[in-house]
């Protein structure tokens, strides 16, 4: 089992844990890694059921893209016309950024600082949560993993992930592979993680693994 990261979420500048007054128990920050459609959101929800505060990059991006002004900035930055309605905008944006590495970098330079800023805000205002879970697809690539005390790798068989992506997102296996090439290799994610969560054996088995990891995380903070 790998050692937990030495990075301490409570040391984020401006955190209440760093201020004056009675000392509060700091939050433990767990980052989730894994392939597309491995079930990271499911695992995050199970941790939420144990009392964790979940920070979802997808939710943050969706909230920001709901602002027309940001969608207009994105269209200008990419130099293309994009649909005004949010669902059509997001679909068109995805097609563009996954077809062009240059366009993807431009979009990321606009969106990633927004996600990073929101994570920092949530860490500063943890509200006494014992555990904060970061569900961020590009956690390693953006170096947002620096906020984590430990990482967990969520796995599922390739066939299961392909079936989930097809059902939930309408992707072909080819589209799934193309999008995964835009992320860090799975072997790098596994190597960086303290725990592996096998999400291919049913929800009950995944829930037991989450409960075990939550127990071990509490012991780390004793």
CA–CA gap between residue 25 and residue 35 (Å, rounded): 33
Q: Does residue 38 lie within any of the structural domains?
A: yes
- At 148, list the tokens: 């984590």
Q: Total structural domains in the chain?
A: 1
Residue 76 inside a domain? The answer is yes
User: Quick check: is 3 in a domain?
Assistant: no
Locus of tokens 């089992």: 1
Residue at 101 is within a domain? yes
Are 165 and 135 in contact by the 8 Å Cβ rule? The answer is no
**140 CB-near residues (< 8 Å, 6+ apart):** 33, 184, 188, 189, 192
pLDDT at 119 exceeding the cut of 90: yes
pTM of the predicted model, to two decimals?
0.83
12-26 pLDDT, tens digit per residue, is 333 333 334 444 567
- Residue 193 structure tokens: 């993680």
Expressed as residue numbers, the domain containing 103 is 28-220
> Does 22 map to a domain?
no
User: Domain holding 40: CATH number?
Assistant: 3.40.50.300
The DSSP-derived string for 112-166 is HHHHHHHHHHHHHT-TT-SEEEEE-TTTTTTTGGGG-SEEEEEE--HHHHHHHHH
Please, which pLDDT band fits residue 170 given cuts at 50, 70 and 90?
Answer: confident
């Amino acid at each position: 089992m790998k050692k937990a990261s030495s990075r301490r979420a409570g040391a984020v500048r401006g955190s209440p844990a760093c201020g004056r007054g009675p000392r509060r128990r700091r939050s433990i920050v767990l980052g989730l890694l894994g392939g597309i459609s491995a079930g990271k959101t499911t695992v995050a929800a199970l941790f939420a059921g144990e009392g964790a505060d979940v920070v979802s990059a997808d939710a943050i991006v969706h909230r920001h893209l709901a602002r027309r002004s940001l969608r207009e900035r994105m269209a200008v930055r990419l130099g293309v016309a994009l649909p005004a309605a949010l669902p059509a905008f997001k679909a068109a944006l995805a097609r563009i950024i996954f077809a062009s590495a240059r366009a993807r970098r431009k979009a990321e330079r606009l969106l990633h600082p927004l996600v990073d800023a929101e994570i920092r805000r949530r860490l500063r205002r943890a509200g006494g949560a014992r555990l904060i879970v970061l569900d961020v697809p590009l956690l390693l690539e953006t170096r947002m993993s620096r906020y984590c005390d430990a990482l967990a790798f969520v796995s599922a068989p390739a066939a299961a992930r392909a079936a989930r992506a097809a059902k939930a997102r309408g992707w072909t296996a080819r589209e799934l592979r193309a999008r995964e090439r835009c992320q860090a290799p799975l072997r790098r994610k596994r190597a960086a993680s303290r725990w592996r969560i096998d999400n291919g054996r049913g929800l009950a088995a995944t829930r037991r693994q989450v409960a075990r990891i939550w127990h071990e995380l509490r012991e780390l903070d004793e």
